[in-house]
Amino acid sequence: MSEAVVLAGPSHVTRLRFAIDQGETAPPRREVVFHDRPGESVASPFFQEPAVVEGAEDVVLMVGDFRFGNRRLVDDRQPGAYNGIEKDLISRANDRALYADSLAALDRIVEQKPSIRLLFWCLAGRELQNRLEGRYMSGGEYRHPVWNLADVES
């Protein structure tokens, strides 16, 4: 069997691991090492741990919602400040700050682990839902005011 792949990310990774463990989905053809924490921001030090950036050559990071850990905008010293979404802290200005912070964190991760593959799972899902609902459309083109899948993929 080839070397294990590390799959890192938030709750989507946790749910996949659980589904495999429970026999609800077929086991992967390769060994998978899961490095997951539900609701965790990609900007969290958790995703820069050796298991992600120094471990296996084959690493996939499932990037969660950019709003994860928005509490750190007001107090990053709190336990869990990089976890979950505080509804009262959702605003366009905070979204921009979190997006910039997340992209900077991704740049650091890619610098440490150039071979890492990024899967923008939450962004792709949100964008699909917005398109289906006709949100953020202008002249037949989709353009979210803060984050767009095409921008992060380029």
Please give the Cα distance from 70 to 85 (Å, whole number). 6
**CA distance readout (Å), 4 to 8, 73, 80, 109, 111:** 13, 36, 29, 19, 21
Averaged pLDDT, 2-19: 92
For the chain, the average pLDDT equals 92
Domains of the chain: 5-153 (3.40.50)
H helix or E strand, kind and range, residue 35:
strand 32-36
pTM here is 0.89
- Choose among 112, 31, 41: nearest CA to 72: 41
Please, how many CA atoms are within 13 Å of residue 151, restricted to the half-sphere of its CB?
12
Q: What is the pLDDT of residues 77-86, one digit of tens each?
A: 766 667 889 9
Position 80 scores a pLDDT of 65
For residue 148, is pLDDT > 50?
Answer: yes
Position 81 scores a pLDDT of 67
